[in-house]
Amino acid sequence: AILEGESSYEVQFRCTDATGARRWISEQVFVEPKGDGRLQSVAVCSDITPWKTAEEALRDSEARFRRVFTQGPLGMAVVGRDFRLVNANDMLCGMLGYSREELRTMRFADFTHPDDIAIDVELTRQVFAGEIPHYTVEKRYLRKDGKLLWGKLTATVVSGTPAETANGLNMIEDVTDHKRAEDQLRDMHAQLERRIEERTAQLEDQLAESI
């Protein structure tokens, strides 16, 4: 670089310190003219190990997040502060019956049951405002084919980004079968209670007639 006319350059390299620990060093070299017309160089070295460690940790974290997002068992979506979907994984597309491109043109209210929109919007507002770190709620989703899907939604804010620009992260578990089983069990209990009431009434009538 110096031969090409540059007045400074920077290089980063790893080395081993006196304790045997590996360190990252940034060396900045500045070239200045001397009074006799010759050039002299000044090198400034800085220990950037903490910065490089954080950079590597962030890179590893992003890689793990991508694996969970693309391969995980939950429907997942990144939601903007305007409630529009920034991205959605294949699992969520399959759950709702929409393509990723279709979901990116929608707000989550577009595929949420009307009775569940208000509470979801309010909780999302609280998360973005930093009033709560996350929330979990069971809500109803409307699939593209018109069918109802019950989902257990856990929502938070994507970490590692400034609060004022952070997106939301929605993780959705399909609990439709579980809710159906709950409804069936509730109906069975209700039917059993009715039968018990009817049988009790019959026995009381029989007792009254025998007196």
Q: Which of 161, 152, 157 is nearest to 124 (CA)?
A: 157
Could you tell me the pLDDT band of residue 3, with boundaries at 50, 70 and 90? very low
Query: For residue 171, which of 126, 145, 135, 118 has the smallest C-alpha distance?
Result: 135
Strands of the sheet with 148-157, listed across from one edge: 85-88, 75-79, 168-174, 148-157, 134-142
d(CA 61, CA 52): 14
Residue 108: band (very low, low, confident or very high) from pLDDT cuts 50, 70, 90: very high
The residue that leads in pLDDT, 156 or 159, is 156
Cα gap 9→3, rounded to integer Å: 11
pLDDT of residue 52: 78
Q: What are the pLDDT digits (tens) for 18-71?
A: 888 888 888 888 777 776 767 777 778 888 887 777 677 767 777 888 888 888
What does the block give as tokens for 14?
């790893």
In Å, how far are 42, 69, 186 from 62, measured between CA atoms?
38, 10, 44
